[in-house]
Amino acid sequence: MAYPSDTILRKLAGTAAFERGAAYLREGRVRLLRADESGFEAQVSGSQTYQLRLQWDGEGLTAHCDCPVDAFCKHLVAGADLARRRICTHGLPG
């Protein structure tokens, strides 16, 4: 697998959460802690700061965020978007 495209992120999160995640990214609220070809960990600061991580393997996508939303939330959208740009533009960090 590879980083989820915008189309997949929108499908996972729904349009409202997708748009809010994109806004978070534009506002510079996302900090990547780790990113490689199989996933990432990040911190997103909104009303509070949340830790999140996304990973995938042959089985599919595993996503977790500390926030109370029990779904693919805007934080995961923002993190996945930034991690994908980082990986695709600059290669693997570290």
Q: In whole angstroms, what is the distance from residue 51 CA to residue 58 CA? A: 24
Q: What is the smallest separation between the CB atom of 79 and Zn ion, expressed in angstroms?
A: 9
DSSP secondary structure code for residue 71 in this structure: S
Q: What is the smallest separation between the CB atom of 70 and Zn ion, expressed in angstroms?
A: 10
By beta-carbon proximity to Zn ion, the closer residue of 48 and 89 is 48
End-to-end CA distance of the chain: 21
65, 77, 78, 83: residue in contact with Zn ion (rule CB under 5 A): 65
Q: Yes or no: say if 69 and 76 are a contact pair by the CB < 8 Å rule.
A: no
Q: In whole angstroms, what is the distance from residue 40 CA to residue 37 CA? A: 8
By beta-carbon proximity to Zn ion, the closer residue of 35 and 78 is 78
12, 17, 42, 73: residue in contact with Zn ion (rule CB under 5 A): 73
Q: Name the residues that contact Zn ion, by CB under 5 A.
A: 65, 67, 73, 75
